[in-house]
Structure 1
Amino acid sequence: MAKPIHISLDVMGGDSGAEVVLPGAEIALLRHPDTRFLLFGHEKVVLPLLEKYPRVRDASTFHHCDVSVAMDAKPSQALKQGRWRSSMWRSIEAVKTGDADVAVSAGNTGALMAMSKFCLRTMANIERPAIAAIWPTTRGESVVLDVGATIGADAQQLIDFAILGGAMARALFGIEKPTVGLLNIGVEEVKGLEEVRTAGRLLKETPLRSFTYAGFVEGDDLGKGTVDVVVTEGFAGNIALKTAEGTAKQIGGYLRSAMQRTLMARLGYLLARSAFDRLREKMDPRKVNGGVFLGLNGIVIKSHGGTDAEGFASAIGLAYDMVRNELLHKIAQDLIHYHRGRFATPADQTEGES
């Protein structure tokens, strides 16, 4: 029997806190019965509600925390006031101590990243962490990073993100050698920022075992799923993410308005209802909820703060998959292979391939 996955939950995080986290944990537990939870929150809020979810109660250990990080708190303020005592900090700390395999929180993104970086530290040879998102495409799904952790990135950091994203694609999609592209304003080598062009050149020149560098990709390639992993810095990545989310809501609003406009439109909707249901499910952000903090000595998953129980269950499911498929081990191995390849002589490379 597989070893249980221990997941620490910041029960107080998000717009609704325990009212979403606990039913989300219930859904996730039905999908993954070998999950065990460490719950961190205020006893007066959590314990009465926990009685409504006996499966979660029986599969969990509860830890009282008298501080909750506000959704609008500044990261520095949250780190100063919430360190050691908050539900967010202690859920991350459980990963550091080995009591949990992964932490999940729907709380303040900036505070969560600050605490995660301070508590877990970055991995060897990784200067700055990244947030990776799962991106629905016409081909299936892709990994996109960074979507907000690192504003601006030099060439080496973009290469680091490529390694991190490639490892996540291997863990999430089961692809032996995923394709990786650098987001740019064109596919020609002379276009784009100097750091992006330099990263592309270095990726071409360095022997890569864990992924295939596919060159530059453009904004429309995100939805096409041209590559398995799209790499960019956090400013552009976050704008792309928010634009995609807004566009999906806009299209959904257009469709609802059009379907209610006339009797014939309503009749057409009824006739094509199954097709619209499939479209709605494909565009449902709850199905791909959860950003993965990559580059740290531990796994932290950021759930959307305004999601519902189904969305939070998806974030827990993502956490489960990242642990079960050994994400950290894959990242560590990929980093070793990359840095060996950077400094290897042609004779070393030939020997390594034989």
Structure 2
Amino acid sequence: MSRSLTIAVDAMGGDRAPEMVIRGADAALERDPDLAFILVGDEARIRPLVAKTRRLKKSNPEILHTDKAVGAAEKPSAALRTGRGSSMRIAIDLVGEKRADCVVSAGNTGALMAMAKFVFRTVPGIDRPAIAGFFPTLRGESAMLDLGANIDCDATNLVQFAIMGQIFARSVLGLERPVVGLLNVGSEEQKGHEAIREAATALRGITDMPFDFHGFVEGDDIPSGTVDVIVTDGFSGNIALKTAEGTARLIGQFLRDAFRSSLVSKIGYLLARSAVGQLRQRMDPRRYNGAVFLGLNGIAVKSHGGTDALGFANAIGVAADMARHGFLETVKRELAAVGFDKTNDERKVVATA
């Protein structure tokens, strides 16, 4: 029997909030009826929406009112300075105060990271938090980090990302022993800059943890599913993410254009409609919604701002999986196993071991 969890929800974050958020919370209860919600935002808008749902209204969610929300274009520094009474900040504070197990928001990414880092702080031994997300592959799904939080990374950062990433894959993807790879410009050992080569040396030396280090992977290894966890700096990771999203849209448009090009093509679409539906489902970005801020001493999941109820429900599911599988406790334990629980002065230099 699954453990009951309380999810703090920023009900005002996202392009179509709060309607999309409320419908998403309702959909999440179909998958996981043991969830409890604290909805933070404009009560006058939220309560009538809850009353129209099937499952959410029966769960009697707590609603915390605020008429203040973080704007989509607001700078993280400004949001951190002035957003204390916002729906996003109150939802984060609920986790910090142990009133909720995790927080989910479809709001401003930079503001969410800044506020969550301020409230939760980082896990002991983590220098920088990273953004992790999912990619569809020929073998199923893979996790990738960092997706944009850290433009420049040294070897120690990459090793920390690898450790957190494989725990994330075990918690959310259900993999018993994930395979980890470092994104590089080639698979040969001499390829890449010094930091990535040092990180590879360090990861090869970690033999007593439940993951396997594959070595270097290239861009075409991402969709092929060569590894379960791809580790890179935020600069390369964000480019890879946006390239994948753009390519998916391009393929979708090409298919639509091809099937509309002639009468024969339209007939072909009718015959292939089932297969096209399967392709659309495999490539549906809502299935992979829910980027996670790894390295914080609290669980925060960022939903895509433009998603719908199904996508938001999936983001809630990611947060619930991490909480139920004891993600934070596992991170702390496995970081300690390789000496990352110490201060910078005390820490053994894993990256050059």
Shared fold, TM over 0.5 = yes
Report the Cα distance in structure 2 between the residues aligned to 1:71 and 1:340, rounded to whole angstroms: 35
- Structure-1 separation of matches of 2:3 and 2:256: 46
Give the equivalent residue in structure 2 for 1:62.
Answer: 63
**Structure 1 residues 266, 54: closer, same or farther in 2, change over 3 A?**
closer
RMSD: 1.6
Deviations along 1:248-283, whole A, 9 cap, x unmatched? 000000000100110110111111111100000000
In structure 2, the partner of 1:265 is: 265
What is the identity, as a one-letter code, of the residue corresponding to 2:68? Answer: V
Q: 1:24 to 1:62 in 2, by over 3 A?
A: same
SS at match of 1:213: strand
AA in 2 matched with 1:71:
A
Task: Give yes or no for contact 1:207–1:338 (8 Å, CA) kept in 2.
Answer: no
AA aligned to 1:80 is R
In structure 1, distance between residues paired with 2:182 and 2:273: 38
Structure 2 CA distance for aligned equivalents of residues 295 and 343 of structure 1 = 19
2:76 maps to what in 1? 75
Tell me, in whole angstroms, the C-alpha distance in 2 between the residues paired with 1:146 and 1:58.
Answer: 39
> 2:286 & 2:205 partners in 1: Cα distance?
39
TM superposition shift of 1:340: 8.0
Closer/same/farther in 2, CA of residues 210 and 343 from structure 1, 3 Å limit? farther
Give the superposition deviation at 1:73.
Answer: 0.3
Q: Is the 8 A contact 2:126 2:340 kept in 1?
A: no
Which residue of the partner structure matches residue 295 of structure 1? 295
SS in 2 for 1:150: coil
Equivalent position of 2:185 in the other structure: 185
**Displacement after TM superposition at 1:17 (Å):** 1.0
Q: Secondary structure at the match of 1:201?
A: helix
Give the whole-Å Cα distance in 2 for the aligned partners of 1:57 and 1:104: 19
Give, in angstroms, the shift of residue 223 of structure 1. Answer: 0.2
2:254 match = 254
Return the offset for 1:212.
1.2
Distance 1:234-1:343 versus aligned 2 partners, 3 A rule: closer
The separation in 2 between residues aligned to 1:257 and 1:136, in whole angstroms, is 24
Query: Which residue does 2:224 correspond to in 1?
Result: 224
**Corresponding residue for residue 195 of structure 2:** 195
Provide the secondary structure at the position in 2 that maps to 1:293.
strand
Other-structure match for 1:214: 214
Kindly state the Cα deviation for residue 343 of structure 1 after the two structures are TM-superposed: 5.7
Deviates more, 1:323-332 or 1:305-314: 323-332
What is the CA distance between 1:54 and its match in structure 2?
5.2
Q: Deviations over 1:38-94 (max 9, x none)?
A: 1100122212222212532342111012210000000011111102x1110111111
In structure 1, what residue type is equivalent to 2:254?
A: Y
- Give the C-alpha shift of residue 32 in structure 1: 0.7
Q: What TM-score do you get using the length of structure 1 for normalisation?
A: 0.94
Q: By how many angstroms is 1:338 displaced? A: 2.0
**2:129 equivalent to 1:129:** yes
Cα contact 1:9–1:40 (8 A) shared by 2: yes
- Is this contact kept in 2: 1:210–1:334, CA < 8 A? no
Match of 1:39 in 2: 39
Give structure 1 stretches of 5+ with no counterpart.
Answer: 345-354
Q: What TM-score do you get using the length of structure 2 for normalisation? A: 0.94
Aligned to 1:163: 163
Q: State the number of aligned residues.
A: 343
CA distance in 1, matches of 2:2, 2:314: 21
SS at match of 2:201: helix
| Deviation (angstroms), 1:325 | 1.7
- Match of 1:252, SS state, is helix
What is the distance in 2 between the residues matched to 1:205 and 1:318? 31
Instruction: Indicate conservation of the 8 Å contact 1:180/1:212, yes or no.
Output: yes
Identity %: 52
| Distance in structure 2 (CA, Å) of the matches to 1:331 and 1:37 | 25
Q: Who is 1:352 aligned against?
A: none
**Native 8 Å contact 1:208 1:338 kept in 2:** no
Partner of 1:336: 336
Conserved? CA contact 1:179–1:213, under 8 Å? yes
Q: Report deviation, 1:116.
A: 0.6
CA distance in 1, matches of 2:191, 2:96: 42
The equivalent of 2:101 in structure 1 is 101
Look up the equivalent residue of 2:12 and give its one-letter code. M
Cα distance in structure 2, aligned partners of 1:115 and 1:65: 17
Q: Quote the offset at 1:178 in angstroms.
A: 1.0
SS of residue matched to 1:25: helix
The 3-state SS of whatever aligns with 1:272 is: helix
Match of 1:147, SS state, is coil
Structure 2: how far apart are the matches of 1:211 and 1:97? 33
Deviations, residues 217-244 of structure 1 (Å, cap 9, x unaligned): 0000000110110000111101100110
CA shift at 1:175, angstroms? 2.1
Where does residue 204 of structure 2 map in the other structure?
204
